[in-house]
Amino acid sequence: MQVPEWMTNAPTPFTSVLVANRGEIAIRILKAIRECGLVGIGIHNDLDSNSMHLDYADKIVHIPGEDLASTYLSSQAIIHAARSMGADAIHPGYGFLSERADFAEEVIESGLIWIGPPPDAIRVMGDKISARESMIQASVPVIPGKSIDVKEGEDPLPQLAAAAAQVGYPLLLKASAGGGGKGMRAVKEPKLLRMEYEAASREATAAFGDGTVYVESLLTGARHIEIQIFADSHGNIIHLNERDCSLQRRHQKVIEEAPSPAMNTDLRKRMGNAAIDAARAVNYEGAGTVEFLLSSNNDFFFLEMNTRLQVEHPVTELITGLDLVHMQLRVASGQELQIGQDEVGITGHSIEARLYAEDPSVGFLPSIGMIAKFQTPQGPGIRIDSGIREGDHVTTSFDPMLAKLIVHAPDRLSAIRRLDHVLSKTVLHGVKSNIDFCREILSTDVFREKGVTTNYLDDGYHSHQTNKPTDATLVIVASAADKFGLQRTQSASNSKTTMSHSGHVQDPFLTLSKKFP
């Protein structure tokens, strides 16, 4: 196979890429690989031999096994699959092995090209404590905080109390190894410290196999602002503006947008430069995201760096006109970035809603079943990144994010209107979803005016659905549908939506070591 034209003078050219992922992100990456004239290799395990992402792969390799540990999370199995298919490179996507420094190292040692940052950069940023130390050295502002290292059998309280006195209340307990809200607890007063510490440590141990907890000052009324950065192997680092992901439910992002309604040119420049400093401090290469908390008086603090492509990368693509996966492929081939900081612009406004299989009316419990109907609208400024199609089963084996609905419009209010339109025209039958929930958020005055702060949804958000058909109308429709003999489908799985018999009652989708923040 010939190297595509754009790669002919590259220091490390390649022609085929194995995508070590599934779902919407695997589809997104496989499409880009084809478009770039490369060969895409898809993987699957015993449970998803019929998954949608395989339709976009030029070659498919089956990794035997049902559990994630021996398939999507097995570096050995994936590298073996890559070699057996003659792949030149591996793209990890997000989640799964994307932020495992050891995996990146093994990929490189086996002679394959790793489409991601250097293993050392992943390692430093993957641990909250070492990340924080390296940011302090690079003069990137960090939130006041302290780590708690409790020996086996030792009472944690003295250390906790000392740390709490240092950072002040309210404070946040975080899993040192964590992400995505696992092992994270807010503590408002001293008497709850021990209880919350124990809960956080337990959760951290369950989710990450490491119960180390970190104490930091809790900023209330802050926004979650993240800066997309891109670095090549020639020392060029640029930032691609910010994304505002303040709309979170229990530290899980729901709606993301770019640019942030809280941003101004000067602040963007300062945060952009801080993100570039952060990336330079760890000799970063490729796509990365530096997350900050922005306080109400415009002070910003480093939260963490995600050393991979982010779920919400499309909003950046839509406002900058860049293709981040193309850029990743280019950087991995050893070529320089094609643009400089001055050429990065912002056109219009973009918003993304994450479509989750969950039921907001029963505490957002995951919903499983067969997708009997899935329809999304098309039109200018509408992008649907989906990983499901009709007939697919949503199970507890994989992540509950089904698709991303993304819009682009000239300004923020038109983007909100467009996203509301997209949500209203999206039909999903077979599993419950957060469609209505997203629409309600978009319709609130506080979101429309200036966006929200990170605790908005957890601070007593109440559903106020209006304009609902009456129950009488619904049962008449059901009877009429029967009488007209409309489409009948039957789920092979139990579509009684909410799961209660799962091993992980709290979170049946807790199958990855990290959630996608």
Partner 1 sequence: MRWSVEKKTDIWSVKLGSDSGVLSVVDLSIDGESVESGVIIELSKNNDTLIVRDGQEAVEAIVTKIKDSWWITIQGQTFVVTEADGNSNSSGEERGGLTAPMPGIVTEILVKEGQRVRSGQPLMILEAMKMEHQVTAPKSGQIEKIYFSEGEKVDMGSDLLSISD
Binding site for partner 1 (CB under 8 A): 46-50, 361-362, 369-370, 372-373, 375, 390-391, 393, 423-430, 432-433, 435-436, 439, 465, 467-469, 471-484, 486-493, 495
Min dist. Cβ of residue 431 to partner 1 (A)? 10
Min dist. Cβ of residue 104 to partner 1 (A)? 32
Min dist. Cβ of residue 55 to partner 1 (A)? 13
Report how far apart, in Å, the C-alpha atoms of 285 and of each of 119, 226, 485 are.
Answer: 10, 17, 58
Tokens 């039921």 sit at which residue?
A: 359
Number of Cβ atoms within 10 Å of the Cβ of 386: 17
Q: Give whichever of 33 and 442 is closer to partner 1, judged by the CB atom.
A: 442
Residues 6+ apart with CB under 8 A from 43: 18, 19, 20, 21, 22, 60, 61, 62, 63, 71, 72, 78, 81
Sheet holding 39-44, edge to edge: 59-62, 39-44, 16-19, 89-91, 113-114
Among 240, 230, 242, residue whose Cα is nearest residue 335 = 230
Q: How far apart are CA 470 and CA 250, in angstroms?
A: 32
- Residue 330 near residue 338 (C-beta atoms within 8 A): yes
| Segment (H or E) for 480 | helix 471-484
Min dist. Cβ of residue 255 to partner 1 (A)? 16
Min dist. Cβ of residue 382 to partner 1 (A)? 15
Q: Note if the bond before 13 is cis, omega within 30 degrees.
A: no
Q: Tokens for 206?
A: 């369950």
Q: Give whichever of 17 and 26 is closer to partner 1, judged by the CB atom.
A: 26
What does the chain come to in residues? 517
308 labelled catalytic: yes
| Segment (H or E) for 349 | strand 349-356
Min dist. Cβ of residue 373 to partner 1 (A)? 5
Phi, psi (deg, nearest 5) at residue 487: -40, 130
Q: Give whichever of 50 and 338 is closer to partner 1, judged by the CB atom.
A: 50
Min dist. Cβ of residue 436 to partner 1 (A)? 6
- Active-site residue among 308, 412, 418, 439? 308
Greatest alpha-carbon span in the chain: 71
Q: Give whichever of 211 and 369 is closer to partner 1, judged by the CB atom.
A: 369
Q: How far apart are CA 247 and CA 384, in angstroms?
A: 20
What angle is formed at CA 43 by the lines to CA 389 and CA 506, rounded to 5 degrees? 65
Residue type, position 164, single letter: A
Residue type, position 15, single letter: T
Q: Give whichever of 26 and 131 is closer to partner 1, judged by the CB atom.
A: 26
Distance of CA 216 to the CA centre of its chain: 23
Distance of CA 211 to the CA centre of its chain: 23
Residue type, position 160, single letter: L
Q: Give whichever of 130 and 498 is closer to partner 1, judged by the CB atom.
A: 498
Q: Give whichever of 152 and 471 is closer to partner 1, judged by the CB atom.
A: 471
Q: Give whichever of 5 and 471 is closer to partner 1, judged by the CB atom.
A: 471
Min dist. Cβ of residue 51 to partner 1 (A)? 9
* Sign of the CA dihedral with 67 first, then 72, 77, and 81 last: positive
Catalytic residue IDs: 308
